[in-house]
Amino acid sequence: MKLIKQKLRMVVIAVSLLLASLIVYGTWSLGVSGNRWFSSSVNTSLRKVREDVIPGNIYDRNNIQLAGSNLQGKRLYHQDALTRRAMVHALGMYDGTVKNGVETFMSYLLYAYDASYLSRLNAALTGNRLKGYALRLSLSSGLMRHIAEHFPQGKSGAVVVMNYRTGELLALNSFPNFDPLSPQGVMSDPDKPYINNATQWRSAPGSTFKVITMAAALQHLPGVSERVFSCTGAYQVVDIQVVDAGHIAHGELTLDKALSVSCNITFAKLALELGDEKLRQTAQAFGLDDHFLFSDLVVENSAYPANNRVAKEVAWTGPGQSALAMTPLHMCLVASSIANDGVMMEPKILLQAVGKNREGKAQIVPAIYRTPLSGTDAGIIKQAMRQAVRSGTATRAAVSGLNVCGKTGSAQIDGQELTNAWFIGFLDEPTLPYAVCVVVSDAGEGSRQAAPLAARIFEYIRNNP
């Protein structure tokens, strides 16, 4: 009998621990993923709430109204067609044509899901529909319109602009775009304009990844910043050759010079010297292979190559090729961490949510996502990126009177005729703490296609603080 009681006690303790674990996990999951569950298309309660509540208005950072509603709850958008097109992916659409935008991901606020039972009952009895919370976003509709106006016509791609000190996103453009007032044929368009390329499209980032390889070298190879490397224009790795554009031979060069002129051979050598594991460790410190669970938006996970890690693949990973897969938003985070002395901030899009009586419901709280590198190493990479804009591959990103730091890149996906043009960079200015990532698909060199658009963005920011 005594033995039975002991066993029962053990069972009770085990079950209690299991229940406690489930409660803790459930609470954690609700805090981290609650809005993801709530905005899911299978949430039937959300569909019911939408029938009874007029969605709240949406404003940009300058209080320009981007979306409103009539008394029947039908969405009304900004009167300017180009602004509507520029904002469509960031805002999303009520019917889910564009998924994971503000309209769906923040629907728990827009439809005041926390409204009390009494207020819902009163609305039902009086026939007055409830009104959701009004949202003020960090996005600048003027900047996003400016980007849409100057993005190369007929090209796909994305542009992300972020305050690297607070994480506030000022621009989240995706191309091709469309007018939310005329969505006919969007879902059947082979160019997939319903996809948010800033957060969902992944590709090898080309030479922009060299900043991560450089961070790995600074961390793991003592004295690497004082070494001199040799570039002859071609570097044999087993049965392939690593080459630079036009088979240019850079001769002898230092690490910072190698970044500024984008020497593939130097960074291939560094990758092989580091070895795949150390390069992977640094890449993961920057967020690759992480499961992004940001509070304000959904972002596809980036990946460091896991298979076929033979010498030639490792060599090409150093310059940003191989099977790397990163989103434009993530590469903007990488640039931001270098600008912000090694600290990567979590991207934010919601500045404030308020009710009809101006009561506050939510407020932006800047949060550190991770610290992938030291402030010293970030400073070394920053200076090399500054040199790239002054006299290297990123000179077309220069803006008179501004300290611009940048890195260009070109990467090709199987089946493409031209490379995807990349640029990451930032303003090293105390009053203008902004980073940018520009990607133009099938466009050729990043120095010719992406960098000039970045310059236009920096100019706009300076002139419209």
Q: Across residues 171-177, what is the average pLDDT?
A: 98
Torsion sign across C-alpha atoms 355, 357, 362, 365: positive
Q: Across residues 161-170, what is the average pLDDT?
A: 98
- Report pLDDT for 129: 81
Q: Across residues 170-197, what is the average pLDDT?
A: 95
- Report pLDDT for 28: 41
CA pair distance 446, 268, nearest whole angstrom: 20
pLDDT band at 113 (very low <50, low <70, confident <90, very high): confident
Q: Across residues 191-200, what is the average pLDDT?
A: 96
- Report pLDDT for 449: 86
- Report pLDDT for 453: 97
pLDDT band at 38 (very low <50, low <70, confident <90, very high): very low
By DSSP bridging, strand 58-59 and strand 65-69 are: antiparallel
CA pair distance 353, 171, nearest whole angstrom: 19
Q: Is the pLDDT of residue 178 over 80?
A: yes
- Report pLDDT for 328: 98
- Report pLDDT for 11: 61
- Report pLDDT for 42: 47
Distances (CA, A) of 382 to 43, 337, 432: 46, 10, 16
In terms of pLDDT, which residue wins out, 15 or 355? 355
- Report pLDDT for 6: 65
49-98 pLDDT, tens digit per residue, is: 667 888 999 999 999 999 999 988 888 999 999 999 999 999 999 888 99
Distances (CA, A) of 299 to 56, 58, 149, 198, 308: 24, 21, 25, 9, 26
User: Which percentage of the chain shows pLDDT scores above 70?
Assistant: 86
User: Highest-confidence range of 183-187, 244-248, 397-401, by mean pLDDT?
Assistant: 397-401
Contact (Cβ atoms closer than 8 angstroms) between residue 176 and residue 156: yes
400-431 pLDDT, tens digit per residue, is: 999 999 999 998 766 666 789 999 999 999 99
Mean pLDDT of the chain: 89
Q: Is the pLDDT of residue 27 over 80?
A: no
Q: Is the pLDDT of residue 198 over 90?
A: yes
Q: Is the pLDDT of residue 110 over 90?
A: yes
- Residue 325: CB atoms within 10 A of its CB come to 18
Distances (CA, A) of 451 to 143, 266, 310, 385, 418: 17, 23, 33, 13, 17
- Residue 64: CB atoms within 10 A of its CB come to 14
Q: Across residues 383-404, what is the average pLDDT?
A: 97
Q: Is the pLDDT of residue 15 over 70?
A: no
Of the given ranges (100-104, 282-286, 342-346), which has the lowest mean pLDDT?
100-104
Q: Is the pLDDT of residue 216 over 80?
A: yes
Architecture of domain 206-349+366-463: 3-Layer(aba) Sandwich (3.40)
pLDDT band at 45 (very low <50, low <70, confident <90, very high): low
Task: Quote the Cα angle for 32-54-186, to 5°.
Answer: 75
125-164 pLDDT, tens digit per residue, is: 776 788 899 999 999 999 999 999 999 999 999 999 999 9
Torsion sign across C-alpha atoms 145, 151, 153, 154: negative
- pTM of the predicted model, to two decimals? 0.89
Q: Where are the domains of the chain?
A: 206-349+366-463
- Report pLDDT for 360: 76
Q: Is the pLDDT of residue 275 over 50?
A: yes
